Amino acid sequence: MTDKKKIRVELRRNRTKPPREKPWTRGFQAHGYEDEATKSDERVRAKGDLSRYRTITQDTATAPLEDGSADTMPATADAECRPGRVIRVHGLQSVIETADGTQVRCTVRRLLKSLITEERSIVTTGDRVWFRDAGNGEGMIERVEPRHGVLTRASRRREHVLVANVDQLVIVMSLVEPTLKPHLIDRYLASAQQGDLAPILFLNKVDLVEAAPLQPLIGGYSQLGIPTLLTSATTGEGIAQLRELLKDRATVFSGQSGVGKSSLLNALQPNLALRVSKISEVNQKGKHTTTTAELIRLEFGGWVVDTPGVRQLELWDTQPEIVEGFFPEIRAFVPLCSFPDCTHTHETGCAVKRAVNRRQISLRRYHSYLGMFSGDETRKSEE
Ligand code: GDP
Ligand code: ZN
């Protein structure tokens, strides 16, 4: 009595524009800066996009897979299927955790497996799945639920989903040792926006610096709607707020090495960082490149993921009109440029450059914009 429906499985999400409407730019949209014309254009799917999908048959009953409601069964013949969440992936094997904390090692159904050879991210950390439980600690993934927030990176020019179904990206920067790199913040913010993750900015090691001169920087990000906190893993400043922000959410921690991610994680929950670093080591040895990340359950509710290194957060897609979308305060001026395809680099009558000169857009943010854009130029010339 299985009710079947056809679903399309995305094979290759190549050069697809991310939607521009994102929570942290909402402030700007509320003030009427949103470019309505561009927005609706983006809903039109590019020609040939359909060919990137493959239709497979799937059971229609899709129970909501919230952590708490995980014992809802699909109304299908698959009575022995159970819901769970992928906490890590090793090649074709995944470790699934169910709502009661049981871990099951799963392979994937053959149909899904044939897709994996074409798309490495069919099953990834954070996925909510239905699996057939063999009862001996092993099982088989039968279905992967649609994803929301994802963190991706380009991998041989293909999108590689590092982790799925996460809510927010905690960007950890240190104020000193290593020194603060604002352009890096903007790159992480762009990644967050691309993956539909709410960004939170943590400026760590505040115990080592005078905080007052940081106010303009903090004010700038707060104005963009990004929660920005000063923290110290050493004195405990900001840790209570960190815990509050992480509770019951799935959070990716990212930032260069040495900024204090492990120290902050340990301040949250003893030995948390130890588990994280063990996983990172395996990743860096590099043989199992599909071992992406691990979801780690927080004692006070929620999950964290630590991603090693910055290079993994290279922007997946940096066409100029997309990069401009990462900078709401730049986007606000775009409709005023003389040329509709203005890249805001060399053009005359560019409203963005004019706004930079008038200090309506910060020079620092404009340089970040140029940096991401020239990344695109490099890529174009390779093609
Ligand atoms: P990770 O590589 O991002 O995980 O950084 P770690 O947590 O390993 O921290 C790197 C170094 O910075 C260590 O020596 C920490 O003791 C130190 N550290 C981390 N957080 C702070 C902080 O808030 N204040 C000070 N003074 N040192 C810190
Ligand atoms: Zn322009």
Give the tens place of pLDDT for each residue, 68-108.
333 333 444 456 789 999 998 887 789 999 988 899 999 88
Structure confidence at residue 349 (pLDDT): 94
Query: Rounded to the nearest whole angstrom, what is the distance from the C-alpha of residue 258 to the centroid of ligand 1?
Result: 6
Atom of ligand 1 nearest to the CA of 257: 2
Average pLDDT (234-247) is 94
Question: Of the residues 179, 181, 263, 272, which should be mutated to test ligand 1's pocket, given the most ligand atoms within 8 Å of the CB?
Answer: 263
Protein residues with C-beta less than 5 angstroms from the ion ligand 2: 337, 342, 344, 350, 352
Question: Which ligand places an atom closest to the C-alpha of 203?
Answer: 1
Q: Is 280 left (phi over 0), alpha (psi -120 to 50) or beta?
A: alpha
Please give the single-letter amino acid code of residue 90: H
How many angstroms separate the CA atoms of 112 and 100, rounded? 26
Q: Ligand 2 center to residue 337 CA distance, Å?
A: 5
- 168 phi/psi in degrees, rounded to 5: -145, 160
Element (H, E) at 112: helix 110-116
Nearest ligand, measured from the Cα of 170: 1
Checking if the pLDDT of 363 tops 80, the result is yes
CA of 193 to the centre of ligand 1 (A): 27
The rounded Å distance from CA 333 to ligand 2 centre is 8
Least confident of 71-85, 193-207, 280-294, 348-362: 280-294
Mean pLDDT of the chain: 72
How far away, in angstroms, is 260 Cα from ligand 1 center? Answer: 4
> How crowded is the C-beta side of 298, counted as CA atoms within 13 Å?
23
What number does the ligand 1 atom closest to the CA of 263 have?
7
Closest atom of ligand 1 relative to the 204 alpha carbon: 23
Give ligand 1 pocket residues (Cβ under 6 A): 204-205, 207-208, 232-234, 255, 257-263
Task: Name the residue at shortest CA distance from atom 20 of ligand 1.
Answer: 260
DSSP SS3 for 29: helix
Which ligand sits nearest to residue 177's alpha carbon? Answer: 1
pTM for the model: 0.66
Note the ligand closest to the C-alpha atom of 229: 1
Element (H, E) at 171: strand 168-174
Assign 65 a pLDDT band (cuts: 50, 70, 90).
Answer: very low
Closest CA to ligand 1's atom 27: 205
